[in-house]
Amino acid sequence: MANIVEEIKKPINSEMKLFEQKFYESMQSKVPLLDKITRFIVTTKGKQMRPMFVFLCAKLTGEVTEKTYRGASMIELIHTATLVHDDVVDESFKRRNFFSINALWKNKIAVLVGDYLLSKSVLLSTDNNDLDLLSVISRTIKEMSEGELLQLEKARKLDITEEVYYEIIRQKTATLIAACCEIGVLSGSKDQALAKKMQEFGTYTGMAFQIKDDLFDYLSKNVIGKPVGIDIKEQKMTLPLIYTLKNTDEKNRKYYFNTIKRHNNNPDRVKELIDFVKKSGGLDYAIGVMKDFQTKAKNILNEFPDSDAKKALNLMLDYVIERKF
């Protein structure tokens, strides 16, 4: 899998190296504590898939410009801010096998750091008069917040339909990847129709990405960062579960709803539910939907002439649904 990521990065290797330097500069502060924390963020960064989308979409539709670097930094600032805030909300003390910011510096500082990163993202656009990019990121932050709140609201009642599930994952996950692709286009072009097309590409890719994430709950064996059954323990209704409960009889539905509601911390009942979802075709259905989203994204890419950027984005789509973590 690491080789695939290196292959995807090939057409944008030099841009990604320069981006890392610019991203660190975009976070810097005169407050020593903030500087210490931003250095920690840079040293514990992930694969940086989202900036890769920005650069590849810029190359697919035009050229990489200074605005592309700003757009990629804005996206990564938002992404990092949401991860910092998520760890506080989820009371999570580990992130990518490192201690999270709230574990090292406590919740209050973590929330303020997240706020600081969001403000830096906005300033990066206003200071450079990138009002089109500001519009994209403002809409993205709004939608991500709405998606998370919709999921929390529905988790209380466990009444998530398939349509509501798609809306939740579109807002909380796909909207940020869609923003990467839209910003990639807008950083080198004023073609709104093209930006909209690549936003759609990013939405389909993000939907496939989140469904794959939800499948780990049923397929992982505690080797990856996500333990088996954690979504069920947290009463999160994901696609395999929604499909299974919708297509079973009333007796089973009541029994398994009861598992989620009252026995979600009982390992035996959780395992029993996971086995039932597998046996009922819930995983196969979710895999089919994930592949449909991947195909829709690939169909958009096929409209473009062959290039290294197109090849890398196709590889990215394969990686999204084949990754092991």
Concatenate the DSSP letters of all residues of 17-56 into one string: HHHHHHHHHHH--SSHHHHHHHHHHHHT----HHHHHHHH
pLDDT value of residue 92: 63
Tens digits of residue pLDDT in 269-321: 888 899 999 999 999 999 999 999 999 999 999 999 999 999 999 999 999 88
In this prediction, residues 1-6 reach a mean pLDDT of: 74
Tens digits of residue pLDDT in 229-241: 778 887 788 999 9
pTM: 0.88
- Please tell me the total count of domains within the chain: 1
Contact 137, 122 (CB under 8 A): yes
pLDDT value of residue 134: 93
Banded model confidence at residue 261, pLDDT cuts 50, 70, 90 = confident
> With DSSP H G I counted as helix, E B as strand and the rest as coil, what are the percentages for the chain, rounded to 5?
80, 0, 20
3-state secondary structure of 284: helix
pLDDT value of residue 226: 44
CB-based burial label for 108 (10 Å; 0-12, 13-18, 19+)? exposed
- What domain range is 257 assigned to? 2-322
Backbone phi and psi for residue 98, each to the nearest 5 degrees, phi listed first: -110, 160
Tens digits of residue pLDDT in 83-119: 776 666 666 655 555 656 665 566 777 788 788 888 8
Using the predicted structure, report yes or no on whether residue 158 has a pLDDT greater than 80. no
Average pLDDT across the chain, whole number = 85
Using the predicted structure, report yes or no on whether residue 225 has a pLDDT greater than 60. no
In this prediction, residues 236-262 reach a mean pLDDT of: 90
The CA-CA-CA angle for residues 230, 235, 240, to 5°, reads: 75
Using the predicted structure, report yes or no on whether residue 224 has a pLDDT greater than 80. no
Q: What is the C-alpha separation between 242 and 240, in angstroms, rounded?
A: 6
In this prediction, residues 216-227 reach a mean pLDDT of: 60
* Distances 88 to 91, 148, 149 between C-alpha atoms, Å: 5, 14, 15
Using the predicted structure, report yes or no on whether residue 4 has a pLDDT greater than 60. yes
CATH number for the domain spanning 145: value is 1.10.600.10
Using the predicted structure, report yes or no on whether residue 47 has a pLDDT greater than 80. no
